Structure 1
């Protein structure tokens, strides 16, 4: 007798809520990884002024300024989407049409805030 293996036909669609869920998890992981880098930099305070100045010279490079824009994007999106999740849990955002509008609002507001913060950072990184 041949064993029949069930093959589900369901595929996940990348609807806005699912995309927001994936990005929220990814930004949470990135913020956790950033914490280790932050602790490493702060650790050099205890190693003396020379060690700290060496680390600060590295983090003042244009590459790190671009990475700070990524950090800004991560923090802004994670924070705003976290507020959306709280309002969805305790408010009336769980309905599909309202939830989709809230996701698009989080994307739009995040993009505006990231752009507003990235412009001065880009000027600093490239001396414009």
Structure 2
């Protein structure tokens, strides 16, 4: 029996990397939604239960995870806008699409760094 061999090998070009990151950040945001609902759920159980949960999520580990959340939200949002502009605008041409992907990476990195500095200072108690 002959085993099927793939004829196409995917290259890690910017558009493909952007596609993967958009899916990963979407899944991570979905998982975060469950954590958010769990925390908010404790509001209905009274002030004491909510304070207990807030004590847990104020740990330094959660402050570091908030930086990851910031990165996830920023990248997913900006890349989503790029996809919309690609679908309805003129970004579908290869040379423009590649520049748009790099622009999303660069703007995301800047925004994440700007937002992460105060969050990191809070997490480290500086």
TM range (shorter): over 0.9
1:47-86 pair list within 5 angstroms: 47-86=45-84
Aligned to 1:97: 95
Q: For structure 1, which runs of at least 5 residues remain unmatched after alignment?
A: none
Q: For structure 2, which runs of at least 5 residues remain unmatched after alignment?
A: none
Deviation at 1:17, TM superposition (A): 0.2
Q: TM-score, normalised by structure 2?
A: 0.97
Match of 2:6 among 5, 8, 20: 8
3-state SS in 1 of match to 2:28: helix
Q: TM-score, normalised by structure 1?
A: 0.95
Runs (4 or more) in structure 1 with deviation over 6 Å come to none
3-state SS in 1 of match to 2:120: helix
1:34-53 pair list within 5 angstroms: 34-53=32-51
1:78-100 Cα shifts (integer Å, max 9, x gaps): 00000000000000000001000
